[in-house]
Structure 1
């Protein structure tokens, strides 16, 4: 698939295909590990967590049988009404319409509540628009019904019954089958691991050891899925909006990975006619993998030299985020500082002391703007059944997006689903306490937490929003992806289900 630059959607990069900037960007992309689509994969820089980011008083009583019903109903009420045009996908080989992944999950949830209710008082009132559809008894719907039943039994610690039902679900699932079968396969693996924690099935693997970063599959995902490019283009545009007159720019990146987002920044600064930049400095923060970050710096240095930009790259390494100090960042007089945190803070979601430390150090640096991109989901509940339901809908949307965006790239799709999504789902559902390293939280939760540091959310510019919409236009699957505003925050959604947020912040 052509890149957005080739489609004319990147107003930062010169339009001519013979432009040195375009050629350098393309060559840069060919040898970068594009692991910047952070769909729940564990941060390698910040790896310690607690159960709660905000103090929540735990319940002393076990949830009763109706708890799962209540959570399913609650999820249904807070979701916008499903657009029937998006819920139904026409099938060329059948006169029966095909439901979207979200519609199948919603229908299965209704069927689960109706079949599992003990009395009429517990019968579902979800009123699903497709409850009378012939698809209501399809294999995919039944698979999700069984999966919900498994989760309910696991939540009640009925592990023997859950194990038997899991065995049946496993036979119905497949990592190479339909979207629902793939989704269920990795949820079933997670439930097996959850049961294995309290039954003689052995210890579960550390998700950090289970993840192998596949550079080629992630490169394919980057090219074929709009989410990572929306984050980068809109995020870099927001930095540019706040350094319009700056001659010396210092960007501090909390999770740099391949650093390919800065090729966009380089090109934009080269094309800037007013207020030419005298020097650009990028500082990468980490607690491990120093050599990897230094390699990223070398690639960026080579790219900057090709564009004749005065550039320097630094790495700040600390054994623990608690050791972080303002003086480590070497800010020089006259520099305008900006902070870029793409899918970095959720790695600190369970360690309030470390998150507080990094925010206070950033405040002392007095950046002109802090860009925060995070997964827009609520998968950090201390309640297992709560995490399960939220995760089922969220990852259902992710799998649905992969099915559409990577439909012609089965090999890379399957690899990304197995390594990135599979390990994430396992950690969210099977791990507890410090072992649960995946903490997805919504912008609402982040707003409440960040408010304590005297940092305020600021408006994103129309240029930022325009960048997001232009990126979407370059993707065949762009019609299923939407960009909307939640207050001052940009929300990227798939068929109505939020996937990611992008926001800008400034200290008072």
Structure 2
């Protein structure tokens, strides 16, 4: 313990950034969570017609055959260690049946989260809250407030602990291989961190896990350890968390609305619209576009989506985005939109060739990335920078529009302690945002923090080299990189920006921020810019 005290004394005053504090109070949910009638989107004000084509259109789905390679770290094996003497085919059949039943039962929730609805006055509305959620939030909020009151009365000592400083000191100790000091600091952090505490306590929990994983793997070889922490959730489970996330946070919703508006604008008269989506994941961003296309004057275009995703571990690397394609097919059948789906999930993005995208000359081509280019490697790992390679590929296919939404982060430094500090500032904003806008006991909040923020933070902290896939850059860095790749930035649609600013003010907490700079739409929390979106076209060749 003496070595820890010595370490604290030497470093406490030098850490100026550690003085940043987030307020601990929990406000009433009714002040900032959206209500049903506040989630109204006026389609006419966005320039869309409400006419819908009645003729049934032909639906075509094409899914590439993916390589089926055995993986020693496949998730299927880990999930069933305790199930002995079970036939593999029967096991897969049971899983598929369970998945089908689960998604069928949750189809209404998918519609409520991903689609527009028409109210009694005939106005389209976007619903992100299910029945009974208000009572759940009120109950959770009151519990959260009570928990904070007890914390102030019984845990005054905890309130005086600067978890951020302890975490940075621990990271410094880990960086210098002083594992004795690091372990003593981790014990202190564990005493005051909590998976269900306030924002700083939750952040400390996941950052401590990352430091432990880094020590266990010495910065490398931690991929299998991180993958074994918990199996990935199904799309239906993630939708539950996504639903609550949309109710509490505008970042993804406004980015999706920005993307849809810009793509609809360039495809007003298109007979075929082809979207190449880098990082399609569950495809939650496209059902609303499908619905908009079905309402287009003169009928919907033929929609082609090329879903690109990173290979998944296990026997079926493309299983998740094949499932995404089937889900999008159901929406297209429902809204009579001709549909073709092509998935690419068996190779790294920088190795994709133009031929793989199956582009036709007579279609409007849109390229989209929703917060996923942060997963591409940069120059510090590969001299032939994958980020530049993907941008050059997009430039070669000459899209009519390229919409790039990015995570605005500075925690991509090659030096561990510098990266750790920046990660603390970034994730502190996210955990504080949830602590202000959501009840602490909400199970969907816990799942979202574990499956998204927790995994991302642990990857940033525990992994190095090829295993570190969380590598965000600032929007200014992305602007310079995209211009170098041969793109011209499009000006922001000011009418759209005004509408989005109005929706943000009407739907969400006052500390959320939307702004613009250099033709980027910026989104943030309490002054820290967290996400940014912009539109590009290929620059004329000289």
Contact 1:241-1:461 within 8 A present in 2 as well = no
Q: Deviations over 1:238-284 (max 9, x none)?
A: 212222332321111111122232222123223333x6544222121
Aligned match of 1:482 in 505, 513, 523?
A: 513
Contact 1:226-1:478 within 8 A present in 2 as well = no
Contact 1:4-1:471 within 8 A present in 2 as well = no
Aligned equivalent of 1:418? 450
For the residue of structure 2 that corresponds to 1:407, the secondary structure is: coil
The 1:260/1:3 distance shift into structure 2, 3 A limit, reads farther
Distance 1:190 1:460 in 2: 39
The 1:317/1:197 distance shift into structure 2, 3 A limit, reads closer
1:165 and 2:185 are equivalent in the alignment? yes
For the residue of structure 1 that corresponds to 2:478, the secondary structure is: helix
Distance 2:416 2:495 in 1: 41
Aligned match of 2:523 in 492, 496, 505?
A: 492
Q: Deviations over 1:353-399 (max 9, x none)?
A: 43333222222221011111111111110111211111111100000
Aligned match of 2:367 in 329, 339, 342?
A: 339
1:179-194 map, 5 Å: 179-194=199-214
Q: Deviations over 1:158-180 (max 9, x none)?
A: 22112212211211111112221
Contact 1:481-1:492 within 8 A present in 2 as well = yes
The 1:339/1:225 distance shift into structure 2, 3 A limit, reads same
Aligned equivalent of 1:221? 245
For the residue of structure 2 that corresponds to 1:385, the secondary structure is: helix
Contact 1:237-1:467 within 8 A present in 2 as well = no
Aligned equivalent of 1:316? 344
1:447 and 2:526 are equivalent in the alignment? no
For the residue of structure 1 that corresponds to 2:286, the secondary structure is: helix
Q: Deviations over 1:215-238 (max 9, x none)?
A: 232332233322221111111112
1:431 and 2:459 are equivalent in the alignment? no
The 1:188/1:290 distance shift into structure 2, 3 A limit, reads closer
The 1:503/1:494 distance shift into structure 2, 3 A limit, reads same
Q: Deviations over 1:384-416 (max 9, x none)?
A: 121111111110000011112222752222222
Aligned equivalent of 2:390? 358
Gaps of 5+ in 1: 36-90, 100-134
Distance 1:223 1:177 in 2: 21
Aligned equivalent of 1:30? 109
Contact 1:4-1:10 within 8 A present in 2 as well = no
Distance 1:499 1:463 in 2: 23
The 1:167/1:245 distance shift into structure 2, 3 A limit, reads same
Contact 1:253-1:282 within 8 A present in 2 as well = yes
Aligned equivalent of 1:43? none
1:396 and 2:428 are equivalent in the alignment? yes
Distance 2:216 2:486 in 1: 44
1:130-169 map, 5 Å: 139=159, 141-169=161-189
Distance 1:223 1:361 in 2: 36
1:503 and 2:530 are equivalent in the alignment? no
Distance 1:291 1:33 in 2: 25
Aligned match of 1:458 in 490, 510, 521?
A: 490
1:250 and 2:288 are equivalent in the alignment? no
Deviation at 1:307, TM superposition (A): 2.1
The 1:410/1:472 distance shift into structure 2, 3 A limit, reads same
1:407 and 2:486 are equivalent in the alignment? no
Aligned match of 1:266 in 275, 290, 298?
A: 290
Gaps of 5+ in 2: 1-29, 53-104, 115-143, 312-316
The 1:197/1:503 distance shift into structure 2, 3 A limit, reads same
Contact 2:222-2:463 within 8 A present in 1 as well = no
Contact 2:51-2:296 within 8 A present in 1 as well = no
Aligned equivalent of 2:326? 298
- TM-score relative to the length of structure 1: 0.71
The 1:219/1:485 distance shift into structure 2, 3 A limit, reads same
1:285 and 2:308 are equivalent in the alignment? yes
The 1:278/1:227 distance shift into structure 2, 3 A limit, reads closer
For the residue of structure 1 that corresponds to 2:409, the secondary structure is: coil
1:207 and 2:238 are equivalent in the alignment? no
Contact 1:12-1:267 within 8 A present in 2 as well = no
